[in-house]
Amino acid sequence: MTRRKMANPAGWRLVSVGVGAAPLLAACQGVQSALSPHGPEAQRVASLSWVMFVSAGFILLIVILLCALAIYGREAWRGWLAHENVVFSGGVTFPVVTLTALLSYSLALTSKAEAPIVVGGPKISVVGERWWWRVFYDDGAGRSFESGNEIRIPVGRPVEVRLTTADVLHSFWAPTLAGKLDMIPGRTNTITLQATKPGVTRGQCAEYCGGAHALMAFDVVAMPEAAYREWLARMAAPPKPPASPQEREGSKLFMENGCPGCHAIRGAGAAGRIGPDLTHVGGRLSLGGAILSNDPPAFARWIRDNQQIKPGNLMPRYAIFTESELAALSAYLAQLK
Ligand code: CUA
């Protein structure tokens, strides 16, 4: 037994390749993977991917085997391979049958009707901007508000998301929930998102849209229905006013240094429309289009170094603040929850 194992190094190499590939496959279970579905639409994409991958792998194996036979096989095998019937079966019949089967499977899978949208449910619109996502929520009960870089949906029910762009082509891709859909100038596309379990995953712009395209990401949060309702109500209301002297100083700096020219903070007298609405920015999961953590140091970094962090974005770098002013501004923004 031992001798046989030792005499088969090729087999062991195969095993070690398999073990080595395990971490790579584990990466597929990530927060931004089409192979880690959190909803029925993404499940269909994942099933199709696996069926296509396994079928193609199987066919590739057969082709390699036949090539090996044709090159190294015995005379009789090579003669058999050259036979007209074998060439016809392998070259015409086999591809026609397999491709027809795979095509039928994919058409049947993708033509399944999407779950109907519940009338009166929340509506979401997303606008592709110069490397961030403007998000409008309408809770279906007369309340609406604007947010940025975060798509929150309730678990269990399909939500309609309308996609447009403010400038060039972008592509909305939340791989754990659905396939990609382009955001096209002058057009509104509609995608349905449905999550079957709560959790935080990540989405990404999937169409090259300029220098910082790769840094145009967003968080996707699926919440239980009751928590979602509570969140919607909280977001539709203005934030609490700044409490500490440092936060009040930050608020003053914000209002006096041109920030309201681009950013809105409901209830604070800031109504800019160019950059993201900051009304509840401190309550978001990340900053800068899901590329920075959400804490006061990250606010300070973004205000001072945003052109290094995301070159070419529409916000100028603000080098005018002292360290303590930056800290005050960051404290103010971080408490906007
Ligand atoms: Cu937006 Cu790429």
The CA 201 to ligand 1 mean position distance, Å, reads: 18
Instruction: Give the tens place of pLDDT for each residue, 291-335.
Output: 999 999 999 999 999 999 999 999 999 989 999 999 999 999 999
Spacing, Cα 197 to ligand 1 middle (Å): 28
pLDDT bin (cut points 50, 70, 90) of residue 1 is: very low
Protein residue whose Cα sits closest to atom 1 of ligand 1? 170
Q: Per-residue confidence at 22, pLDDT binned at 50, 70, 90?
A: low
Angle between the 40-72 and 94-110 helix axes, to the nearest 10 degrees? Answer: 170
CA distances from 291 to 286, 294, 299, 303 (A): 7, 10, 12, 14
Span 261-285, average pLDDT: 96
Which residues are paired to 163 by β-bridges? 126, 189
Residue type, 301: R
Q: What is the atom index within ligand 1 of the atom nearest the CA of 214?
A: 2
**Distance from residue 207's CA to the centre of ligand 1 (Å):** 5
Q: What is the pTM of this model?
A: 0.85
186 Cα–ligand 1 center, Å: 16
Three-class SS of residue 75?
A: helix
Q: What rounded mean pLDDT belongs to the chain?
A: 90
Return the pLDDT at 113: 65
Q: Ligand 1 atom closest to Cα of 210?
A: 2
Atom of ligand 1 nearest to the CA of 168: 1
* Residues within 6 Å of ligand 1 by CB: 128, 170, 205, 207-209, 213, 216
| pLDDT, tens digit, 9 for 90 and up, residues 60-81 | 999 999 999 999 999 999 999 9
Cα(205) to ligand 1 centroid in Å equals 4
- Report CA-CA distances (Å) from 176 to 170, 292, 315, 325: 18, 21, 31, 40
Closest atom of ligand 1 to 206 CA is 2
* Residue 227 in tokens: 């928590």
Tell me the pLDDT band of 3, cut-offs 50, 70 and 90.
Answer: very low
Q: Identify the band that residue 142 occupies on the pLDDT scale cut at 50, 70 and 90.
A: confident
- Averaged pLDDT for residues 256-262: 96
Look up residue 256 and give its two tokens: 């006096």
